Amino acid sequence: MNASDESLMTSPNAAQRPPPAEPVPEAADGSSLEGRMLGRLLARLGNPELEFLLWTGERIAPAGTDPLCRVRIPSRAVLLSILSDPQVRFPDAYSDGRIEIEGDLVRLLETVYRASARAPAPMGFSRLLAHLRRPHVNTLAGSRANIHHHYDIGNPFYQLWLGQTMAYTCAYYPTADTTLDAAQTAKMDHVCRKMRLRAGERVVEAGCGWGTLALHMARHYGVKVRAFNISREQVAYARERAEREGLAGQVEYVQDDYRNISGRYDAFVSVGMLEHVGVENYEELGAVVARSLGDNGRGLIHSIGRNYPAPLQPWIEKRIFPGAHPPSLGQMMRIFEPWDLSILDVENLRLHYAQTLRHWLELFEAASAEVERMFDAKFVRMWRMYLAGSIAGFTTGTLQLFQVVFATRANNDVPMTRAHLYTR
Amino acid sequence: MNASDESLMTSPNAAQRPPPAEPVPEAADGSSLEGRMLGRLLARLGNPELEFLLWTGERIAPAGTDPLCRVRIPSRAVLLSILSDPQVRFPDAYSDGRIEIEGDLVRLLETVYRASARAPAPMGFSRLLAHLRRPHVNTLAGSRANIHHHYDIGNPFYQLWLGQTMAYTCAYYPTADTTLDAAQTAKMDHVCRKMRLRAGERVVEAGCGWGTLALHMARHYGVKVRAFNISREQVAYARERAEREGLAGQVEYVQDDYRNISGRYDAFVSVGMLEHVGVENYEELGAVVARSLGDNGRGLIHSIGRNYPAPLQPWIEKRIFPGAHPPSLGQMMRIFEPWDLSILDVENLRLHYAQTLRHWLELFEAASAEVERMFDAKFVRMWRMYLAGSIAGFTTGTLQLFQVVFATRANNDVPMTRAHLYTR
């Protein structure tokens, strides 16, 4: 219905620089071949408020706009590369330092996203390309490889910018001035209260990250947790932390796939794993949920989502999150409907994820010299692009964040209202 | 995945009588032909805790159960009629007074629903029958006929048992002791606050019943409302009421189909109409919503729903609500996803609908002599069955009640949290 995911710069982009004060060469009106090609590109994007500045000095911008940002393209070779597959090659060119972006990166991406939501339906070629791109499949072995790619690049790197909680998912901001760490803690409480956890209950967690939620549930709600994760770095970190904090008797971290969850539990929780499951596996995930829960079972699944089914931006899928797919709410229902699970509550927290990402990006920029020492300059630009693009995704509604609370059909032990979530 | 909608008595059943004290004939073990047929029926239903008492004195009940209720079948002709198409013929036989039910009607239906949720997959024949039953289609003319069938049988009848508000949809009970009228008012406020209505805004309502919500929005939130309904009796009542209450300048009732809604509005609301729309029309309903809303548009759709796609119980569809279909949440997404509308909030109020229906049934029973004078004894039994069956549907999770809040993609003027719904 709209072309946002077909847009060229789709997700992340540019450098954190102020608009330039330097004199720019005299403007051209897109009359060269390159200019006409970029003009068509801008039209396909819905004419966002940005300007291309070519190596010839030519400037191309949508007519009548006052550009928010400028993209400097240094050579015909770079331009042709970008035009051949803009969704992937544009962010690659930025990561490699072959193009420069002047102006605020997040604003640039927001203008592209907003414009592309108004743009005409995507062209056949882009649609074809999207179909040809098969995302990395999530078989048991495929999932291990996909998760290893992102989550096993080193805990010290993530410690630089995720804050104290090491929670790598959308936080919850009860007020506008809540700090990142407080918002991550508030998110965990929001999740636990939505599930109405009670002391002595058994909880299974699918995809536990660095183990923070599992420890929080055990410590503050008195439950016993089995937490599954296939990232060996994360599991090692989580086990060490549980030992250190004296909670190893209450929390068991299992380095295994969610498909291998066994046993019966009072609640099932998964925060930020569904993005890595793949729609083709949702019914099987639902089978795991259904067999894990007794008659009064309930649970919560928290995931990035979309307004309608669409593949993940291909650069993100290729470079950052192989195999990832944020589902529409309709797609998420494939988890629940085959198993007669009742949806009790859905909350969309997309603006909370934008705020979380702003906090992460701020910490990331503050640590960028350290990140560059750990990896290299290209890595820094790539991750900057990914974080900034994600902010723009959530602020423009290209991405959503769904928290879905569910229960088994037979469960009438559910609260009549949600007032208990908002009173202490 | 389960057979609830294939069950024999599926929705409503029996008379409001206490368990009998009279002596019953000696028990048989289902060894007659009739007994064996009924035994198979009970097995297909998942062995609910009920007993059949035949004209021969034979009693058939699932082995090892202590039946909660008894169904008296007076002749072989009635039995064969029921067995030929139990989902329709059983409630018909009750409505016609050909069978009697001893024990609490709601409990009887609940035991059938609960048992059938555990029963094996429905048999081929029942499945075939369900497919052969084409519900009444919702073309423009079909919808008029369908709505006329239910809503135009006389406002004085509905006034007997809907309470002061004449709201014929699920109420909202902030506390267990809230009265029906207070709960209907609380529902309207819950809906208005979820949409964050502001004075001076324009609201369009699709399917406005007797006009109560439109008047409430105008009076208490200062908005201008255009409210659509194809029931002439309801529109006449609503217009008269708006005049009498001095709100005719703020509320316009339009006797027309939702498909003919025109104009631009700040909010779109529909409470209890979607059940009559038909899944095949959801994308068109979404088109109406999308073209009605500007960039900061939002709205709410409130509807009976299901855990998974399934046809309405066929007796209810045939006798009570022609053309009706309660959708799964996945089906509801066909309204929103094609138009890039964002789901902000879903709340399941099924236990509130059970409570609303208990209040309605109580008022209905108190007025049953009056209803019988207006119509006849068969009408009273038919409606008792429908109301009791609906209670059982909501208490057992066979039916759900979804309130879905949505907004246009571009709308960032949405509250960060839902706390505002729970603080006055």
Of A114, A338, A411, the CB nearest to B1: A338
According to the model, what pLDDT value does residue B13 have? 34
Burial B367-377 (b: 16+ CB within 10 A, else e): bbeebeeeeee
Cα(B63)–Cα(B48) distance, rounded to whole angstroms?
A: 10
Of B341, B409, B422, the CB nearest to A419: B422
According to the model, what pLDDT value does residue A218 have? 98
Cα(B224)–Cα(B200) distance, rounded to whole angstroms?
A: 7
Whether A189 has a pLDDT exceeding 90, the answer reads yes
Q: Work out the minimum CA distance from A309 to partner chain B, whole angstroms.
A: 8
Picking from A33-42, B74-83, B253-262, which range would have the lowest pLDDT averaged per residue? A33-42
Average pLDDT of chain B is 88
Of A328, A329, A347, the CB nearest to B418: A347
According to the model, what pLDDT value does residue A147 have? 74
Whether B27 has a pLDDT exceeding 80, the answer reads no
According to the model, what pLDDT value does residue B120 have? 53
According to the model, what pLDDT value does residue A131 have? 55
pLDDT, tens only, A124-160: 455 555 555 666 778 888 878 877 777 778 899 999 9
How far are the Cα atoms of B47, B72, B110 from residue B20, in angstroms, in the given order? 22, 12, 20
Contact residues, chain B, for A336 at CB < 8 Å: 307
Cα(B45)–Cα(B82) distance, rounded to whole angstroms?
A: 14
Q: What is the rounded average pLDDT of the residues B311-330?
A: 91
* % of chain B at pLDDT higher than 90: 71
pTM of the model: 0.91
> Which residue stretches of A201-349 are H helix?
212-221, 232-244, 282-292, 314-315, 329-336
pLDDT, tens only, A360-389: 999 999 999 999 999 999 999 999 999 999
Task: Find the length of chain A.
Answer: 424
Contact residues, chain A, for B183 at CB < 8 Å: none
According to the model, what pLDDT value does residue A4 have? 37
Whether A1 has a pLDDT exceeding 80, the answer reads no
Which pair of structure tokens corresponds to residue A337?
Answer: 């409907």
* Bridging pattern class, strands A341-348 and A400-408: antiparallel
Contact residues, chain A, for B171 at CB < 8 Å: none
According to the model, what pLDDT value does residue B338 have? 96
Whether B25 has a pLDDT exceeding 80, the answer reads no
Whether A296 has a pLDDT exceeding 80, the answer reads yes
Residue with tokens 């410590």: A219
According to the model, what pLDDT value does residue B106 have? 94
ipTM of this predicted complex?
0.90
According to the model, what pLDDT value does residue A14 have? 34
Contact residues, chain B, for A6 at CB < 8 Å: none
Cα(A52)–Cα(B258) distance, rounded to whole angstroms?
A: 47
pLDDT, tens only, B80-126: 999 999 889 999 999 999 999 999 999 999 998 988 877 654 444 55
Which pair of structure tokens corresponds to residue B73?
Answer: 């079948």
Q: Work out the minimum CA distance from A243 to partner chain B, whole angstroms.
A: 35
Beta bridge partners of A343: A406
Contact residues, chain A, for B336 at CB < 8 Å: 307
According to the model, what pLDDT value does residue B129 have? 53
Count CA within 13 A, CB hemisphere, residue A214. 34
Beta bridge partners of A227: A205, A253
Of A351, A418, A419, the CB nearest to B412: A351
Cα(A218)–Cα(A200) distance, rounded to whole angstroms?
A: 9
The order of strands in the sheet holding B59-60 is B59-60, B50-54, B69-73, B100-102
Whether A293 has a pLDDT exceeding 80, the answer reads yes
Contact residues, chain B, for A397 at CB < 8 Å: 340, 342, 409-412
pLDDT, tens only, A389-410: 999 999 999 999 999 999 999 8
According to the model, what pLDDT value does residue A135 have? 62
- Write the single-letter amino acid at B401: L
The order of strands in the sheet holding A50-54 is A59-60, A50-54, A69-73, A100-102
Residue with tokens 């019966």: A264
Q: Where are the domains of chain A?
A: 3-132, 140-421
Q: Work out the minimum CA distance from B409 to partner chain A, whole angstroms.
A: 5
According to the model, what pLDDT value does residue A133 have? 63
Determine the straight-line distance between the first and last CA of chain B, rounded to whole angstroms.
43
Q: Which fold has domain A140-421?
A: Rossmann fold (3.40.50)
Cα(A58)–Cα(B25) distance, rounded to whole angstroms?
A: 101
Structure confidence at residue A18 as a pLDDT band (50, 70, 90)? very low
According to the model, what pLDDT value does residue A5 have? 36
Picking from A74-88, A328-342, B1-15, which range would have the lowest pLDDT averaged per residue? B1-15
Q: Which fold has domain A3-132?
A: Nonspecific Lipid-transfer Protein; Chain A (3.30.1050)
Structure confidence at residue A20 as a pLDDT band (50, 70, 90)? very low
Count CA within 13 A, CB hemisphere, residue A260. 10
According to the model, what pLDDT value does residue B29 have? 52
Contact residues, chain B, for A333 at CB < 8 Å: 328-330, 333
Q: A142 or A413: whose pLDDT is higher?
A: A413
Beta bridge partners of A59: A53
pLDDT, tens only, B167-218: 999 999 999 999 999 999 999 999 999 999 999 999 999 999 999 999 999 9
According to the model, what pLDDT value does residue A66 have? 84
According to the model, what pLDDT value does residue B190 have? 98
Residue with tokens 């990395």: A136
Q: What is the rounded average pLDDT of the residues A342-353?
A: 98
Whether A25 has a pLDDT exceeding 50, the answer reads no
CA B419 to mean position of chain CA atoms: 29
A&B contacts, CB < 8 Å? 136
Structure confidence at residue B136 as a pLDDT band (50, 70, 90)? confident
Beta bridge partners of A71: A52, A101
Question: Identical fold at B3-132 and B140-421?
Answer: no
pLDDT, tens only, B365-384: 999 999 999 999 999 999 99
Q: Work out the minimum CA distance from A116 to partner chain B, whole angstroms.
A: 12
Of A2, A350, A423, the CB nearest to B422: A423
User: Among residues A212, A297, A200, A209, which one has the least CA distance to residue A250?
Assistant: A200
Cα(A228)–Cα(A234) distance, rounded to whole angstroms?
A: 10
Mark yes or no for CB contact B337/A308 under 8 Å: yes
Torsion angle of C-alpha atoms A142, A148, A151, A157, degrees rounded to 10: -160
Residue in chain A closest to B4 (alpha carbons) equals A340
Residue with tokens 């055990």: A218
Average pLDDT of chain A is 88
